[in-house]
Amino acid sequence: MRGGLRCISGCAGWSCLRHNTRDLPTSLLITGASQLLTLGGCDPRRGAALAHLGIIQDGALLVGDGLIRALGTRRTLEALPEARGAKILDLGGRVALPGFVDSHTHLIHAASRAEEYEMKIAGRSYEEIARKGGGILNSVKKLRAATSEALKRRARQALAQFAAYGTTTIEAKSGYGLDVASELKILRLHKELAADQPLDIVSTFLGAHIVPREYRESPTGAKRYIRLLTEKLIPEVAQAKLAEYCDVFCDRGAFTREQAKQILEAGKRHGLAPRLHAEQLTRRGAAQLAVELGAASCDHLEQVNSSDIAALAKSETVATLLPGCDFHLGLEHYAPARKLIDSGAIVALATDYNPGTSPTVSMPMILSLACTQLRMTPAEAITAATINAAYALGRERHIGSLGVGKFADLAVFEVADYREIPYYFGMNTCWLTIKRGVVVHAANKTAH
């Protein structure tokens, strides 16, 4: 690959670009993308439209105040009067696309669960480990004992890694606190982190992840915990604007469909939009509940049946697939992505970054799994990880595709063709990540 970073005022190299983009009074002309994947437009993609990447060969972008001011071929943009005097960032023939939108993460947790990983390899199932007090309850215990500072430090490191793999926006869920103080602690950290590091964070309240240990002893425990969620936590979270969405893990060992409905309706009454962990381990009717409630997304979907697929296909609810979970848990049954796409559902992809089922921040790895395990094409996987994921977070007017007026959020890969992004797996080919016109990651250098 040729090219690199240069400043037309004469100074050379990386530090100059970083200085100039950080202080930003002038505009930035990003040129030399062998393929610029625009994904044009703000609408979510269904069916055959998932394959349309809107590629500009030898593409360029003009950026001002963190927004895209113009895009087209290098030749067209270089001729624009507004581009005169702009700083130049030459991508040297690499491939550029909208920054990934990771629409499902459990960002804040205290520690890994590597000991459970070993138990799973030895043959114990995820549910068996959870029944013995491992699983989510294990992470709850660790989180409650952790200080906000320690949690924040770990999350900041993860966020730098998200950026290093080309992600520019994440959704983040609470759900490892499960008492008033600890859930609020997590949600406040979302807010603090959103303010003091470059990636955007969309906050989701997942108090209904599982019934916590202290409510499990008595037969009325679940009911009392749901009352705590609907009568105290949801109103408080909404009032303090600590979350935009409310999520429920609806599955065997977690919450029933009826309980999920009750919790999500309470969330809706307080202005929290619903989303759901649905049909992951067992089919509970959560996908159709998501459609009935007009949820933004229902996520996992390994166990959906044909009537669920038909309901999703007719709806605006995004079907978010998380193949990292099945891979990490060593499961053979992945979600029926082909049927979902071919029926017309809006399909998105996310990491589900969490310590129990999917400890990865790498969207490129998720794309690799989507291609080999879900039989999605590279183009479909990229669409699912950008514009469709942006739609799942209600952010499609600002992110997820490249267009005039949208955020200059970009991921640049050290590849010659976009298909090589999923083709190479387990290695990081992300060369540069740009958030609102500012470089937030450069290979071998981190611009924080």
Contact 323, 374 (CB under 8 A): yes
Phi-psi label, residue 139: left if phi above 0, alpha if psi -120 to 50, beta otherwise: alpha
Contact 137, 215 (CB under 8 A): no
Q: Is 326 in the site for Fe ion (CB under 5 A)?
A: no
Bridge partners, 71 (sequence order): 61
Shortest Å distance, C-beta 91 to ligand NIG: 35
Q: Is 168 in the site for ligand NIG (CB under 6 A)?
A: no
Euclidean distance between CA atoms 323 and 325, whole angstroms: 5
Bridge partners, 202 (sequence order): 171
Assigned token pair, 95:
């491939």
Q: Is 247 in the site for Fe ion (CB under 5 A)?
A: no
Residue 288 or 297: the one with the smaller Cβ distance to Fe ion is 297
3-state class (DSSP) for residue 79:
coil
Euclidean distance between CA atoms 87 and 307, whole angstroms: 54
Phi, psi of 133 (to 5 degrees): 90, 0
Please report, as residue ranges, which positions from 351 to 380 form the binding site for ligand NIG (by CB under 6 A): 352, 354-357
**Binds 21, which of Fe ion, ligand NIG, none (CB < 5 to 8 A, cut-off by type)?**
none
The residue range among 15-23, 349-357, 370-378, 405-413 that interacts with ligand NIG, by the rule CB under 6 A, is 349-357
Shortest Å distance, C-beta 363 to Fe ion: 15
The residue range among 20-28, 60-68, 83-91, 346-354 that interacts with Fe ion, by the rule CB under 5 A, is 346-354
Contact 328, 342 (CB under 8 A): no
- Write the interaction track for ligand NIG spanning residues 83-122; mark x where CB under 6 A is met and - where it is not: ----------------------------------------
Shortest Å distance, C-beta 350 to Fe ion: 9
Torsion of CA 366, 369, 371, 375, to 10 degrees: -120
Residue 298 or 430: the one with the smaller Cβ distance to ligand NIG is 298
Shortest Å distance, C-beta 388 to ligand NIG: 19
Euclidean distance between CA atoms 273 and 279, whole angstroms: 20
Shortest Å distance, C-beta 251 to Fe ion: 11
Q: Is 90 in the site for Fe ion (CB under 5 A)?
A: no
The residue range among 38-46, 135-143, 144-152, 221-229 that interacts with ligand NIG, by the rule CB under 6 A, is 135-143
Euclidean distance between CA atoms 316 and 391, whole angstroms: 10
Q: Is 151 in the site for ligand NIG (CB under 6 A)?
A: no
Footprint on this chain of ligand NIG (rule: CB under 6 A): 135-136, 139, 249, 277, 280, 325, 352, 354-357
